[in-house]
Amino acid sequence: MPLSQNDILMSRNCTSLFLWCVPLIVCVAPMSLAVEKPNIIVIMADDVGYGDLGVLGAKGVETPHLDKLALEGRRFVNGYCSAATCTPTRFSLLTGMHAFRQRGTGIAPPNAPAIIKPGTVTMPAVLRNAGYKTAVVGKWHLGLGNPPKPDWNGELKPGPLELGFDYCFIYPSTNDRVPSVYVENHRVRNLDPNDPLDVRGQELSNPWPDVPTGVTHRDTLKMDWSNGHNQTIHNGIGRIGWALGGKNALWRDEDLATTLTEKCGEWIKANKNAPFFLFYASPNVHVPRMPHERFQGKSSMSYRGDSLVELDWCVGNILETLREENVLENTLVIFTSDNGPVLDDGYKDGAVEKLGDHKPSGILRGGKYSPYEGGTRIPFFAYWKGKIVPGISEEIMNTIDLPATLAALVGERVPEGAFPDSFALNDELLGISGAKGRPFNINEASMRFGFRKDHWKIVSPPNAGQTPGRNDRARYELFNLAADPSETTDLAKQDPERVKTMFEELQKHLVPFGR
Ligand SMILES: [Ca+2]
């Protein structure tokens, strides 16, 4: 049932009586006035591309659960994440703000302190104010603790709990970066105080010369590296960065996705009676791809394909939990990815050699790290059994829109100035007739940008510096995505007026830049 006007007014009036950041216990609508607030699960896969799933044309791998989710839900074929790498997309997913507006939002190193500034309004905080129980399970990669670095043996705060999550069960960085541990709420899980965890930056040489590294003991590795990833060895795999101790807390790569999925299930069961918001930040299919033994060899594409099979199992398992707990029909599930695909991202795992006919980006150009479409146009599905009419949307949608979209969906006010780059696309998400997507799209790839309006797109040149493209409009490329979805033909010289107009509009969006 949609929100009634009274419900909306009550929510707004009530909220305005209090400081927004104070938990609004008395403001939660009483049950008799409850608006429909579906449970919400956002599943963000890692490095999964536009062509990586069966429903998107994948070859050599089957993903039946994700295909079902897509086919029985709404598929956004013009769905994007906001950046071509992990940290900035996740920053924007939680804050509704482009990462380029804040310095230090590039790929976070192992010892990164919390990147999202305290006091920033976040998506989970707004949903919590709307009466939701909130949790994040999986990859964090947005830093923990105060500068200069996390207190790994003490309290890890600020972190997810200070940003609107009631519960977190995360790994701090990426699975190829140390430390290979879980953080549950404010603590490293299973850490033995007699064996403290010491984490050092990746820029240093080995702080413990007697300890084997991916260079000194390369022949002992169970997965060899192709570049970088040769510092601390854990589980027979070289990592980025240095870590020592905390042995009891270390996870095994093969168990990562299963453990996290089980944790999602536990949390769903414990919170099924409240409206809940779960952000499942899946480790699949980021390197090192080391799926559980039961998935190894289940595709023809080596561990990258097997990791897609594992991802599919995880999603199927979560949906099965919803079914078993009788909350499937009251749960909106959104599936997306944090950036486009990559084959060799630092390990020799056969992804290149075993690719076969598979096209991870589908027809799109580029992948992870790229300002072309394959860098940020990704699988994007919304499924809500009995509510979302199955179909395909060609409207533009971006993961940065989820904060405003989900706030609007549950009828919760967004504080003024919050979610500055986020459009409320809730009608479009649900497929309500006549609804529109976002009017333009900006995608970020390190210091390069793509800017799309309708079917036209400009791409900034490489090495554009801190104010990308401001002085070198002549080097921008122009593509007609309707006629040339693979961005093969640069039309900039044929249509300089269009480049000029779009360039000037992009510049307005980039201000303020580099705060
Ligand atoms: Ca990623």
Q: Give the rounded distance of the alpha carbon of 244 from its chain centre.
A: 28
Nearest to 281 by CA among 200, 335, 344: 335
Output the pLDDT for position 470: 57
Please give the distance, rounded to the nearest whole angstrom, from the Cα atom of residue 48 to the centre of ligand 1.
Answer: 8
Please give the distance, rounded to the nearest whole angstrom, from the Cα atom of residue 9 to the centre of ligand 1.
Answer: 40
Beta strands in 73-203, from DSSP E residues, in sequence order: 74-80, 133-139, 167-171, 183-184, 187-188, 198-200
Please give the distance, rounded to the nearest whole angstrom, from the Cα atom of residue 341 to the centre of ligand 1.
Answer: 8
Please give the distance, rounded to the nearest whole angstrom, from the Cα atom of residue 307 to the centre of ligand 1.
Answer: 14
Please give the distance, rounded to the nearest whole angstrom, from the Cα atom of residue 18 to the centre of ligand 1.
Answer: 38
CATH 3.40.720.10 in the chain: give the residue spans: 37-175+251-430
Please give the distance, rounded to the nearest whole angstrom, from the Cα atom of residue 123 to the centre of ligand 1.
Answer: 20
Q: In b/e form, how buried is each residue of 80-100, taking b as 16+ CB within 10 angstroms?
A: bbbbbbbbbbbbbbbbbbbbb
Please give the distance, rounded to the nearest whole angstrom, from the Cα atom of residue 45 to the centre of ligand 1.
Answer: 8
Cβ–Cβ under 8 Å, residues 117 and 138? no
Other C-beta atoms within 10 Å of 353: how many?
12
Please give the distance, rounded to the nearest whole angstrom, from the Cα atom of residue 282 to the centre of ligand 1.
Answer: 10
Q: Which long-range contacts (CB under 8 A, 24 or more apart) does 465-473 make?
A: 466/513, 466/514, 467/510, 467/513, 467/514, 468/510, 469/503, 469/506, 469/507, 470/507, 473/499, 473/500, 473/503
Please give the distance, rounded to the nearest whole angstrom, from the Cα atom of residue 242 to the centre of ligand 1.
Answer: 21
Please give the distance, rounded to the nearest whole angstrom, from the Cα atom of residue 46 to the centre of ligand 1.
Answer: 4
Residue 154 token pair? 């003490």
Please give the distance, rounded to the nearest whole angstrom, from the Cα atom of residue 2 to the centre of ligand 1.
Answer: 35
Please give the distance, rounded to the nearest whole angstrom, from the Cα atom of residue 286 to the centre of ligand 1.
Answer: 6
Output the pLDDT for position 249: 98
Output the pLDDT for position 107: 84
Please give the distance, rounded to the nearest whole angstrom, from the Cα atom of residue 492 to the centre of ligand 1.
Answer: 31
Other C-beta atoms within 10 Å of 5: how many?
7
Please give the distance, rounded to the nearest whole angstrom, from the Cα atom of residue 230 to the centre of ligand 1.
Answer: 20
Output the pLDDT for position 202: 82
Please give the distance, rounded to the nearest whole angstrom, from the Cα atom of residue 338 to the centre of ligand 1.
Answer: 5
Enumerate residues 6+ apart whose C-beta is below 8 A from 432. none
Output the pLDDT for position 2: 37
Going across the sheet that includes 39-45, the strands are 187-188, 183-184, 167-171, 133-139, 276-281, 39-45, 331-337, 381-383, 74-80, 391-398
Please give the distance, rounded to the nearest whole angstrom, from the Cα atom of residue 359 to the centre of ligand 1.
Answer: 18
Quickly name the fold that domain 447-510 has: Arylsulfatase, C-terminal domain (3.30.1120)
Q: How far apart are CA 310 and CA 291, in angstroms?
A: 7
Please give the distance, rounded to the nearest whole angstrom, from the Cα atom of residue 194 to the centre of ligand 1.
Answer: 34
Please give the distance, rounded to the nearest whole angstrom, from the Cα atom of residue 211 to the centre of ligand 1.
Answer: 29
Output the pLDDT for position 512: 61
Nearest to 342 by CA among 374, 367, 314: 367
Please give the distance, rounded to the nearest whole angstrom, from the Cα atom of residue 339 to the centre of ligand 1.
Answer: 5
pTM of the shown model: 0.92
Residues of the chain below pLDDT 50 = 1-34, 469, 514-515
Please give the distance, rounded to the nearest whole angstrom, from the Cα atom of residue 446 to the centre of ligand 1.
Answer: 13
Please provide residue 103's backbone torsions phi and psi, each rounded to the nearest 5 degrees: -70, 155
Please give the distance, rounded to the nearest whole angstrom, from the Cα atom of residue 47 to the centre of ligand 1.
Answer: 4
CATH 3.30.1120.10 in the chain: give the residue spans: 447-510
Output the pLDDT for position 425: 97
Architecture of domain 37-175+251-430: 3-Layer(aba) Sandwich (3.40)
